Amino acid sequence: PAEQQQAKQRIHALLEQHNAVLVTHYYVDGPLQDLARETGGCVGDSLEMARFGAAHPASTLLVAGVRFMGETAKILSPDKRVLMPDGDATCSLDLGCPADAFSAFCDAHPDRTVVVYANTSAAVKARADWVVTSSIGEQIVAHLHARGEKILWAPDRHLGHYIQQQTGADMLLWNGACVVHDEFKASELAALKRELPQAAVLVHPEAPAAVAALADVVGSTTQLIAAIDRYPTDTFIVASDRGILYEMGARHPDKRFLPAPTAGQGAACKSCAMCPWMAMNSLAGIEQALRHGHGEITLDAALAQAARQPIERMLQFAA
Ligand code: 13P
Ligand code: SF4
> In this predicted model, what pLDDT tens digit does every residue of 101-160 receive, in sequence order?
999 999 999 999 999 999 999 999 999 999 999 999 999 999 999 999 999 999 999 999
Whether 113 and 42 map to the same domain: the answer is no
Domain ends where: 148, 177, 206? 177
pLDDT at residue number 264: 55
Tell me, using a 6 A CB cutoff, whether residue 280 lines ligand 2. no
What domain count does the chain have?
Answer: 3
Q: Which atom of ligand 1 is nearest to the CA of 220?
A: 3
pLDDT at residue number 272: 83
In a domain, residue 115? The reply is yes
Whether 81 and 8 map to the same domain: the answer is yes
Measured distance CA(35)–CA(62) in Å, rounded: 12
In a domain, residue 269? The reply is no
Q: How far is the CA of 242 from the centre of ligand 1 (A)?
A: 12
Whether 195 and 166 map to the same domain: the answer is no
Q: How far is the CA of 93 from the centre of ligand 2 (A)?
A: 7
Q: Which of 305, 304, 180, 295 is nearest to 239 (CA)?
A: 180
Whether 161 and 191 map to the same domain: the answer is no
In a domain, residue 54? The reply is yes
Whether 109 and 84 map to the same domain: the answer is no
Q: Which atom of ligand 1 is nearest to the CA of 49?
A: 4
Nearest CA to ligand 1 atom 3: 220
CA distances from 22 to 17, 52, 177, 286 (A): 13, 10, 28, 9
How high is the ipTM of this complex? 0.97
pTM (predicted TM-score): 0.95
Nearest CA to ligand 2 atom 5: 275
In a domain, residue 310? The reply is no
Domain ends where: 157, 177, 197? 177
In a domain, residue 309? The reply is no
Whether 253 and 286 map to the same domain: the answer is no
Whether 97 and 143 map to the same domain: the answer is yes
Q: Which of 94, 102, 130, 96 is nearest to 114 (CA)?
A: 130
Tell me, using a 6 A CB cutoff, whether residue 46 lines ligand 1. yes
Domain region containing 294: 2-90+278-298
Q: Which residues contact 98 (CB under 8 A, 6 or more apart)?
A: none
Whether 74 and 112 map to the same domain: the answer is no
Q: Which atom of ligand 1 is nearest to the CA of 178?
A: 10
Alpha helices in the chain (DSSP H): 2-17, 30-38, 46-55, 67-76, 92-95, 99-107, 122-126, 137-146, 157-167, 186-195, 209-212, 221-227, 243-251, 283-292, 301-318
Q: How far is the CA of 39 from the centre of ligand 1 (A)?
A: 23
Whether 166 and 113 map to the same domain: the answer is yes
In a domain, residue 73? The reply is yes
In a domain, residue 165? The reply is yes
CATH number at residue 243: 3.40.50.10800
Domain ends where: 119, 151, 177? 177
In a domain, residue 235? The reply is yes
The residue whose CB lies within 8 Å of the most ligand 1 atoms, and thus the one to mutate among 26, 46, 120, is 46
Whether 97 and 169 map to the same domain: the answer is yes
pLDDT at residue number 236: 98
Tell me, using a 6 A CB cutoff, whether residue 93 lines ligand 2. yes
Grade residue 315 by pLDDT with cuts at 50, 70 and 90: very high
Backbone angles phi, psi at 70, to 5 degrees: -65, -40
Lowest mean pLDDT across 106-115, 128-137, 218-227, 263-272: 263-272
Tell me, using a 6 A CB cutoff, whether residue 117 lines ligand 2. no
**High-pLDDT (> 70) share of the chain, %:** 97
Measured distance CA(71)–CA(123) in Å, rounded: 10
Whether 81 and 115 map to the same domain: the answer is no
Measured distance CA(115)–CA(153) in Å, rounded: 5
Whether 166 and 98 map to the same domain: the answer is yes
